[in-house]
Amino acid sequence: MSEQAPAGFRCAVLGDPIEHSLSPVLHPAAYGATGLEWTYDARCVPEGGLADFLATLDDSWRGLSLTMPLKREVVPLLDEASDDVRRAGAANTVVIADRRRSGHNTDIPGAAAAIRERTDAELTRALVLGGGATATSVGLALAGMGVRHVDVAVRSAARAQQTLEALADVVEAEAVDLATASPAGADIVVSTIPASAQVADLVAQCAQAPVVFEVVYDPWPTPLARAASEAGRVLVGGLDLLVHQAALQFELFTGLTAPLEEMRAAGEEALARRSAS
């Protein structure tokens, strides 16, 4: 990466809800560590509102981070899309330059980096809870790591259709019922569902999974994360994913090498404050 970047650009994370996002903690921490005088904030943009928001942006804007429900909504609004965006049908990153919008998906390499940071276990079969854009990206990351079968657990098979279609070219995937999902034979369970949906029966069903990847970081720990931690199983946390994907976003926005440890420390401190309040 280049070690120079223009001064004064604006960036933000968009989504709905957005108050929980730690991105406005991680990115400014990276700016401070690299001496950038950029700004980064959070903007609530509801489903269906992204096109109108993008139309308001001027030349001071350089990058956008996207969370639910905008990762798929943004794709037809892009001028350019990376291979990972085309594979996933979803983008969590938009780089704005010369009035053009370039879409990227840092969730895929970010998920792979987060998993490998915590375990080097061989992974061949996975159970993914939830069928949204994040489930798609993590499924693609797992396929790239050697997983050959993914069960996507959802309340309705129709909810997983886009995810199954995205995974079909690289892995064997099928929809299963969330209420009866079992990780039997799975090397890793990935949860992309809210903590409120992690009922006791579901947590018990996943009790034998050797590796748990909980993409939610607030509230923390979730029921699934707590159970995995108490049982001494490998736990990959939502902050792990957030930090790695945000570091890649920072590099795309700025052209600088991301200060990963400074970003991680800022995120850990912010979560500790939330837990204490």
92 in the same domain as 166: no
168 in the same domain as 185: yes
Element of type H or E holding 270: helix 260-276
Under DSSP, the state recorded for 54 is H
Rounded Cα distance, 78 and 73, in Å: 10
Q: Is residue 33 part of a domain?
A: yes
212 in the same domain as 184: yes
Q: Is residue 45 part of a domain?
A: yes
132 in the same domain as 32: no
Q: Is residue 127 part of a domain?
A: yes
Stretch 38-64: mean pLDDT, rounded? 97
Range of the domain at 131: 109-237
Half-sphere exposure of 76 (CA within 13 A, CB side): 4
Rounded Cα distance, 181 and 209, in Å: 12
249 in the same domain as 230: no
Tell me if 227 sits within 8 A of 251, measured CB to CB: no
Catalytic residue among 27, 62, 71, 72: 71
Rounded Cα distance, 125 and 131, in Å: 16
Could you tell me which residues come within 8 angstroms of residue 99 by beta carbon, excluding any fewer than 6 positions away? 59
pLDDT digits (tens, 9 = 90+) for 159-186: 899 999 999 989 999 999 999 999 999 9
22 token code pair:
């730690």
pLDDT of residue 277: 78
**Which pTM does this prediction carry?**
0.94
Q: Is residue 2 part of a domain?
A: no
**Virtual torsion, Cα 116, 117, 121, 126, nearest 10 deg:** -60
Rounded percentage of the chain residues whose pLDDT exceeds 90 = 93
Element of type H or E holding 81: strand 80-81
Stretch 88-112: mean pLDDT, rounded? 97
pLDDT of residue 4: 57
pLDDT at 201 over 70: yes
Q: Please classify residue 39 by burial: count the beta carbons closer than 10 Å to its beta carbon, then call 0-12 exposed, 13-18 middle and 19+ buried.
A: middle
Angle at 234 between CA 131 and CA 180, to 5 degrees: 40
Q: Is residue 20 part of a domain?
A: yes
Confidence of residue 276 (pLDDT cuts 50, 70, 90): confident
Omega before 221 cis (within 30°)? Answer: yes
Stretch 181-199: mean pLDDT, rounded? 96
68 in the same domain as 184: no
Beta strands at 93-97 and 61-66: parallel, antiparallel or unpaired: antiparallel
Q: Is residue 1 part of a domain?
A: no
Confidence of residue 157 (pLDDT cuts 50, 70, 90): confident
Q: Give the CATH number for residue 261.
A: 3.40.50.10860
Stretch 126-137: mean pLDDT, rounded? 97
Q: Give the CATH number for residue 174.
A: 3.40.50.720
pLDDT digits (tens, 9 = 90+) for 2-23: 455 666 899 999 999 999 999 9
227 in the same domain as 250: no
- Mean pLDDT (the chain) is 95
Rounded Cα distance, 253 and 9, in Å: 9
Give the chain's domain count. Answer: 2
Stretch 28-37: mean pLDDT, rounded? 97
219 in the same domain as 115: yes
pLDDT of residue 159: 84
120 as an active site residue: the answer is no
246 in the same domain as 208: no
205 in the same domain as 182: yes
Tell me if 12 sits within 8 A of 41, measured CB to CB: yes
pLDDT of residue 25: 98
133 in the same domain as 31: no
223: helix, strand or coil: helix
48 in the same domain as 76: yes
Rounded Cα distance, 156 and 128, in Å: 14
Q: Is residue 4 part of a domain?
A: no
